[in-house]
Structure 1
C-alpha cells in the first residue's frame, strides 16, 4: 500500500525541504522512492534521515506542486530534521540502504520514532480530491488534455459538496496552475504556427 504523505528533509546546513510523496511502509520499515533528480534524495543521502508527515492539510500537497513550498516546520527529537508544524502524526526515519535504480532509487529507512501530534477528525472527500488533483498537476505535460479535463470535472464534484476553506484554497491553486499551463501551451502553439507561415 502507498500512503500519500509529505516528506520533510534538511540540507546539511539545516535548510528544510518539503515534498509530497507516496511512501510504502510496513512495521518499522519505510521506503521512499523519489524520481531523480530530487532534493529529497540528495538530502537523505547527505544527512541520513527524513521525516514522513501524515497530514490532512491538503494545501501542503497543492502548494508544493504549484510552487508554494514554505510551510512552518518544527524540529523533531530523534533525528536531525524537522516536521510540519501542522501534522497529525510523523515518523522520524534513518537511512538503512539505497537501491541504486538510476531513475527512481529506493531509500530504505528505519522508523526511529512514530509520534502522534493531533487527533484525527475523520475523512473528507474534498481532501482526497485535492490530492488527486495535485497528482494531475504534477503530470500536466505527460497526460492528454482531455484526460485532465475529465478528471478535474469528476473531482470538482467532491470539492463542491464537501470542501472547507483549506480544500477550496488548495483547489483554487491547482486550477490556476492548470489554466496557466494550458494558456502557455496555446501561446507556444500559436507562435509555432506563425513561424511556420
Structure 2
C-alpha cells in the first residue's frame, strides 16, 4: 500500500525540509523511495530520521511542488526534527537500512512514535484531483504532455464539482506550474 504523505526531514541547518512522497507500507515497515538527486534522501541519510505527516490540506502537496514550502512546523517528540503543525496525524521514523540503487534507493524505516492531532473526515473528489495533479506535476518532463493534459482534463471534472477554497488554490498553483512548463520556463520538477 502506498500512503500519500508529506515527509519532513531535518536539513543540515536544522530547519524542516518538506516533500510530498508516496510511502510504501510493507510488512510493518515504511519504505521511502526518493528519486536521486534528493534533499530528502540526503537529509534522512545524514540524520537517520524522517517524519510522515498526514494531512487533508492538499495545498501542502501542491505547494511543495510549486516552491511553497514554508508551512508552520512543531518539534517532534521522539526523533530529532519537525512535524507539520497542521498534520492530522504523524509518524516519526527511524532509518533501519538502505538498499542502494542508482536512481531510487529504498530507505527501510520503522515507526518509533505515532500521534493523532485531529480527526480525518475523508477526502472529497477535489482533494483527490489535486493529489493526482500534484503527482503529474512531479513527473513533468518524464511523461508525454498529451498524457498529462488528458488526465488533467478528467481530474478537472471532480475538482469543479466538489472544490472548496483550499482545493481551488492548490489547483491554481499546479496549473501555473504546468503553464510555465508548456511555455518552456520550467524544464523539470525539482526532486524533493
Shared topology, TM-score over 0.5? Answer: yes
> Matched residues in 2 for 1:61 and 1:148: separation?
17
Residue deviations 1:152-187 (CA, integer Å, cap 9, x gap): 1100011100011100000000111111111127xx
In the TM superposition, residue 27 of structure 1 has moved relative to its aligned partner by 6.0
1:29 aligns with 2:34: no
What is the Cα-based RMSD across aligned positions, in Å? 1.2
SS at match of 2:25: strand
Which residue number in structure 1 is paired with residue 94 of structure 2?
94
In the TM superposition, residue 26 of structure 1 has moved relative to its aligned partner by 4.0
> Matched residues in 2 for 1:91 and 1:42: separation?
20
Moved more, 143-152 or 22-31: 22-31
Moved more, 134-143 or 30-39: 134-143
> Matched residues in 2 for 1:148 and 1:27: separation?
33
Task: List, as ranges, runs of 4+ consecutive aligned residues in structure 1 with deviation greater than 6 Å.
Answer: none
Residue deviations 1:93-120 (CA, integer Å, cap 9, x gap): 1111110112111111110011101111
Please list every run of 5 or more consecutive structure 1 residues that lacks an aligned counterpart in the other structure.
Answer: 186-197
Q: Which has the higher contact order (CA 8 A, sep 6+)?
A: 2
- Normalising by structure 2, we get a TM-score of 0.92
In the TM superposition, residue 61 of structure 1 has moved relative to its aligned partner by 0.6
SS at match of 1:184: coil
Which residue number in structure 2 is paired with residue 152 of structure 1?
152
Which residue number in structure 1 is paired with residue 167 of structure 2?
167
1:76 aligns with 2:50: no
In the TM superposition, residue 147 of structure 1 has moved relative to its aligned partner by 1.4
Which residue number in structure 2 is paired with residue 194 of structure 1?
none
In the TM superposition, residue 20 of structure 1 has moved relative to its aligned partner by 0.3
In the TM superposition, residue 13 of structure 1 has moved relative to its aligned partner by 3.2
Task: Judging by fraction of residues, say which structure has more helix.
Answer: 1
SS at match of 1:158: helix
- Normalising by structure 1, we get a TM-score of 0.90
Which residue number in structure 2 is paired with residue 193 of structure 1?
none
In the TM superposition, residue 23 of structure 1 has moved relative to its aligned partner by 0.4
Aligned length: 185
> Matched residues in 2 for 1:147 and 1:28: separation?
35
SS at match of 2:34: coil
> Matched residues in 2 for 1:77 and 1:169: separation?
32
> Matched residues in 1 for 2:30 and 2:146: separation?
36
> Larger Rg: 1 or 2?
1
SS at match of 1:17: strand
> Matched residues in 1 for 2:102 and 2:183: separation?
34
